[in-house]
Amino acid sequence: MKQQHVPVTVKPNRERQHRMTAAVLSVVLQGLGQLYNRQWIKGICFLILEGIGLAYLIPRLNQAVWGVWTLGEQTQRFVKVNGSTVLQQGDHSIFLLLNGIIVLLVFFVFLLLYIFNIRDAYLTGKLREEGKQATGASASLRYLLDKQFPYLFLSIPALGILFFTIMPILFTITLAFTNYSAPDHIPPAKLVDWVGFKTFTDLIQLKSWSHTFFGVLTWTVIWAILATVTTYFGGVLVALLIEQKGIRFKKLWRTIFILPYAIPQIISLLLMRNLFNGQFGPINTYMKAFGLEGLPWLTDPFWAKVTVVIVNMWIGIPVSMVLILGVLTAIPRDLYEAAEVDGASGFQKFRIITLPFIMFATTPVLIMQFAGNFNNFNVIFLLTNGNPLRGDYQYAGSTDLLVTWLYKLTLDNNKFNMASAVGIIIFLIIASFSIWNFRRSKSFKEEDMIQ
């Protein structure tokens, strides 16, 4: 007998609509989904946050987008009012740009909160569909303070980083794509315009700028290499000498060599500036007392570069020495004993045991030292101020680094767009070099080498 298939009618389960209903309500108005899920306190909190966000964004968002897009349309001008001449304030392009970036970042934070609200309502609705009860206010608070405490705690500094680090970076980047510079484009008397990549092309293609840029960049790279190598291996040498067997008064030697680091750097550099003065400095005075001719330490381009390298060694070697001393104490002594049994010389023990351990432990610090020396503002600015001057350079001297040239472009000459372009190039160089070298280092590849 043939069986007959009777269609079974499945009644729609309304409980399966909780997740979509809660999500849609949260899309319509932040917090409604939570109220639908009977999370009264959470829903009211989301509603209050949306009210605060809308109260801030509605009167400002349109103006912010307009300001960033146009950078203003009207300059300040004199107009006659009731027979009197009055200065009418115009649009300030930089204020419009800065305020626009801030408002857009607030909108970004509000958007993230809005998305989180929808997701929370959806997941809570899903729990209701599974027959589980939505968590109450006290349970949610305990969960937040227990399981989600790291996110809650990190969100506060994250907001600080967003508005005090990322916002200035975005502002600096945007300036590089404008013509914000003296004397023709300084608001409020003049408006600032978007010019695209013209600033970068001028920096590289215009002879007056490109000659300065590539000259300063070349010296910056040479300086960073010399400063890093001399201070690092100088610290290695001093640390090895102090840790040699038979050296007495090791604590005294460590104290003596750490003194330059203990003295504030600004004091050391200003003191060195006087010591190396070509006219009345003690160093040239002593040289002349012994019948030697004094050297133009700070007035000749070559000797000025030599001077900054020497002074940087005085300041930087103690830092490397302390770092290396810590690494040397962590090297197992049985490795040296085994090497001695095999008849290894002192140099062979250094090459095979000591140097690999030092390089493994300090390679990330070495990369950071190179990045720091690439942007070593203090040594150059306080010792030579980028001098001696060069007539074929645009606002730069013989010892200027990119960072000190950026300072002069900004504060001394109001070339803000060009300075911003230089800042972006510095970031790209340092970030690319640091990431590439760190990923190639054994410290990154062999994290389990030292246990």
Q: What pLDDT does residue 417 have?
A: 93
Q: What pLDDT does residue 442 have?
A: 63
| 8 Å CB contact between 369 and 330 | no
| 8 Å CB contact between 33 and 23 | yes
Q: What pLDDT does residue 444 have?
A: 58
Q: What pLDDT does residue 12 have?
A: 47
Between 360 and 10, name the one with better pLDDT.
360
Return the number of other C-beta atoms located less than 10 Å from residue 76's C-beta: 16
Task: Give the sign of the dihedral formed by CA 294, CA 298, CA 299, CA 300.
Answer: positive
Q: pLDDT at residue 273 above 70?
A: yes
| Confidence tier at 77 by pLDDT (50, 70, 90) | low
Between 426 and 345, name the one with better pLDDT.
426
The ranges assigned to domains in the chain are 14-175, 201-445
Q: What pLDDT does residue 282 have?
A: 92
Q: pLDDT at residue 389 above 70?
A: yes
Q: pLDDT at residue 203 above 70?
A: yes
Structure token digits, residue 365:
């610090």
Output the CA–CA distances (angstroms, integers) from residue 382 to 74, 206, 311, 414, in the order listed: 42, 30, 11, 21
- Looking up tokens 């013989």, which residue turns up? 398
Q: pLDDT at residue 373 above 60?
A: yes
Q: What pLDDT does residue 144 have?
A: 67
Across 387-411, average pLDDT = 93
Q: What pLDDT does residue 261 have?
A: 84
Above pLDDT 90, what percent of the chain?
46
The 3-class secondary structure across 376-432, one letter per residue, is: CHHHHHHHCCCCCECCCCCCCECCCCHHHHHHHHHHHCCCHHHHHHHHHHHHHHHHH
| Confidence tier at 81 by pLDDT (50, 70, 90) | low
| 8 Å CB contact between 96 and 75 | no
Enter the pTM of the model: 0.82
Q: pLDDT at residue 447 above 70?
A: no
Q: What pLDDT does residue 377 have?
A: 94
| Confidence tier at 441 by pLDDT (50, 70, 90) | low
CA distance 295 to 301: 12
pLDDT tens for 97-152 read: 999 999 999 999 999 999 999 998 888 888 888 777 767 667 767 766 677 777 77
What's the CATH architecture for 201-445? Answer: Orthogonal Bundle (1.10)
To the nearest whole number, what is the mean pLDDT of the chain?
Answer: 86
Closest CA to 218 of 64, 52, 429: 429
CA distance 139 to 148: 12
| Confidence tier at 8 by pLDDT (50, 70, 90) | very low
Q: pLDDT at residue 180 above 90?
A: yes
